[in-house]
Amino acid sequence: MDFSSCNKHAPEIVFFDLETTVPKRGGERFWVLEFGAIVVTPHKLTEIESYTTLIKPKDLSVVSVKSSRSDGITRKAVENAPSFEDVADRIFGILNGRVWAGHNIQRFDCVRIKEAFYDINRPAPVPVGIIDSLGVLTEKFGRRAGNMKMASLASYFGLGQQKHRSLDDVRMNLEVVKHCATVLFLESSLPNIFESKWYESPSIMTRSRSNAKSPCKEESSRKSPPTTLGYQRTVPYARGSLGKVTERVKGLLCKAQGQPPLQQLLKHSHSLLR
């Protein structure tokens, strides 16, 4: 099989994230304050491009003077930043015609991107596919790490604290996906050993005990995952113990071509490690 030919025709994946204002009362909207993205190859997940920028909203008064986070975005940080219209061409170029990936992007970030382009009377970029790691990981990995917030998943794997800055968060998102894929690889390699360590209890929801589906409506708050999503299982690995293993994660082979790239990564995780 000509693997180079397969790689040539597969669309690139762009992991992206937005930081926004948080409405304080009903009827208020979200304003984009920061955009960050990395472009990765679909079969090796190699980062080939990155871009991030702060964005000044039309009304500076919607941005807090102080942030509750040490590295949070403040009014002073964005007062001299470009407007969304100033950076729209760059954002369009990095998003349009690629596979979009991110955590909870279908319910939040995709909506905000469309709103921002609508505000400046420009057509919004169009993806060739969307991979929302919130839904995919809930289905494939399960809620064994607790809730499905990026901060919780990162803490579970010992990846450090989420910074809530766009470029840092998208790189963390990719690392979380790699770690989850590695766990699934290990479990699929010795299912009898690892599966025997799982158990059910009244407080643990499994796929067989729950028919709950993810709601399709837009997220009402910044990035909180729906509370009805997924299932939960106990995992036999100590938290933070898989970092060295996942450094060896490799890209998928072309036999999985035609499926969404992140689905390839999880479904065919047995081929990830060499």
Catalytic residues: 164
Q: How far is C-alpha 119 from the chain's CA centre?
A: 25
DSSP string, 95-147: HTTSEEEESSIIIIIHHHHHHHHHHTT-PPP--SEEEEHHHHHHHHT-STTSS
Taking the alpha carbons at both ends of the chain, their separation in whole angstroms is: 19
Burial of 47 (0-12, 13-18, 19+ CB in 10 A): middle
What is d(CA 117, CA 136) in angstroms, rounded to the nearest whole number? 27
* Structural contact between residues 54 and 90, judged by C-beta atoms closer than 8 angstroms: no
Integer Cα distance of 33 and 83 in angstroms: 9
**Is 11:257 a contact under the CB 8 Å cutoff?**
no
Length of the chain: 274
